[in-house]
């Protein structure tokens, strides 16, 4: 076997291992190398998995996702990177304006080795109701399988950054109502709406992460009766907003994975420059 083929097989194995172990991690997001760039510059972003807005970059493996796309206004293209590439997104922009990078993962699975792992995850994610239903269904306290799927977006300004975030039709999706790259000098907050299957997701816990230099601030909010939250952006910096939902898996998914639950994760990322 050639060294090149051996290297490719090794990358595939590493990608599979990383994809499997992320079930114990809490967040998955797209982190652009630059949130604002010139029209002819490459849009580059890492897929990251970890906690507290810190995590490891994942390589581009087409087997890990359903869709990976770049949208500007009414144009959408598929992101095509090299096998095993870092950063996973490296592509010329579609023009001048606000770009939306989006990623829908395939289902992966995790087996919970202890009750504490499961209850801890549910508590952190605002999913306490799941434990009651878990017990009512007569499911074991540990050793069971959960499938999980990720829905990720990121907003990148190219040139003037004109445009608005859009509803892309993801099953679980954040929509940023204000263009973070065109805020007025007096605007100190940004509104977002959480959608589940196209409808506002009310009374849902949202986690907000704000990186300012080397410091990461964290907060929690609950979506209102329109599925909205308003987050302060007084100090600017990079932002990542996430939420988790849990459903019973479809019969097909349950049959293929033996999963008794399916967790669905959504996040969006953007930056605000308050130095202007």
| 98 beta partners | 157
Residues near 226 by Cβ (< 8 Å), separated by ≥ 6? Answer: 193, 200, 202
Contact 250, 63 (CB under 8 A): no
CA distances (Å), origin 25, targets 8, 132, 145, 211, 264? 26, 23, 16, 19, 13
| 108 beta partners | 148
CA distance 26 to 54: 11
CA distance 32 to 91: 12
Instruction: Please list, residue by residue across 212-231, b when 16 or more beta carbons sit within 10 angstroms of its beta carbon and e when fewer do.
Output: eeeeeeeeebebeeebbbeb
Q: Tell me: the pLDDT tens digits for 71-114?
A: 999 999 999 999 999 999 999 999 999 999 999 999 999 999 99
Instruction: Please list, residue by residue across 77-89, b when 16 or more beta carbons sit within 10 angstroms of its beta carbon and e when fewer do.
Output: eebebeebeebbb
User: What predicted TM-score, i.e. pTM, was given to this entire model?
Assistant: 0.89
CA distances (Å), origin 68, targets 20, 154, 161, 176? 19, 12, 21, 19
Residues near 200 by Cβ (< 8 Å), separated by ≥ 6? Answer: 193, 194, 223, 225, 226, 227, 228
CA distance 174 to 196: 9
Q: Tell me: the pLDDT tens digits for 174-210?
A: 999 999 999 988 899 999 999 999 999 999 999 999 9
Q: Is 98 exposed, middle or buried (0-12, 13-18, 19+ CB in 10 A)?
A: buried
Each residue's pLDDT, cut to its tens digit, for the chain (276 residues) gives: 444 443 334 333 334 333 333 334 479 999 999 999 998 899 999 999 999 999 999 999 999 999 999 999 999 999 999 999 999 999 999 999 999 999 999 999 999 999 999 999 999 999 999 999 999 999 999 999 999 999 999 999 999 999 999 999 999 999 999 999 999 888 999 999 999 999 999 999 999 999 999 999 999 999 999 999 999 999 999 999 999 999 999 999 999 999 999 999 999 999 999 876
Q: Is 13 exposed, middle or buried (0-12, 13-18, 19+ CB in 10 A)?
A: exposed
Q: What are phi and psi of 60, to 5 degrees?
A: -75, 110
In 3D, which of 276, 127, 135 has the Cα closest to residue 204? 127
| 148 beta partners | 108, 263
Contact 272, 233 (CB under 8 A): yes
């Amino acid at each position: 076997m050639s060294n090149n083929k051996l290297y490719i097989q090794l990358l595939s194995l590493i990608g599979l291992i990383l994809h499997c172990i992320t079930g114990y991690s809490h967040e998955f997001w797209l982190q652009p190398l630059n949130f604002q760039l010139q029209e002819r510059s490459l849009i580059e972003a890492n897929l990251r998995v970890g906690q507290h807005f810190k995590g490891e970059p994942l390589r581009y493996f087409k087997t890990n996702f359903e869709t990976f796309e770049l949208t500007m206004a009414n144009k959408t293209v598929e992101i095509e990177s090299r096998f095993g590439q870092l950063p996973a997104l490296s592509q010329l922009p579609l023009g001048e304006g606000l770009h939306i990078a989006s990623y829908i993962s395939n289902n992966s699975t995790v087996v919970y080795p202890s009750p504490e792992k499961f209850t801890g995850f549910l508590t952190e994610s605002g999913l306490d109701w799941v434990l009651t239903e878990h017990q009512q269904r007569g499911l074991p306290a540990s050793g069971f399988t959960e499938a999980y799927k990720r829905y990720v977006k990121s907003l990148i300004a190219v040139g003037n950054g004109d445009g608005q975030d859009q509803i892309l039709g993801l099953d679980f999706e954040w929509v940023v109502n204000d263009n973070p790259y065109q805020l007025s000098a007096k605007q100190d907050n940004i509104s977002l709406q959480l959608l589940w299957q196209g409808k506002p997701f009310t009374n849902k816990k949202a986690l907000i992460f704000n990186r300012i230099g080397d410091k990461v601030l964290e907060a929690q909010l609950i979506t209102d009766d329109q599925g909205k939250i308003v987050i302060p952006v007084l100090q600017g910096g990079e932002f990542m907003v996430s939420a988790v939902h849990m459903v019973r898996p479809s019969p097909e998914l349950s049959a293929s994975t033996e999963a008794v639950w399916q967790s669905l994760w959504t996040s969006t990322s953007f930056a605000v420059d308050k130095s202007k």
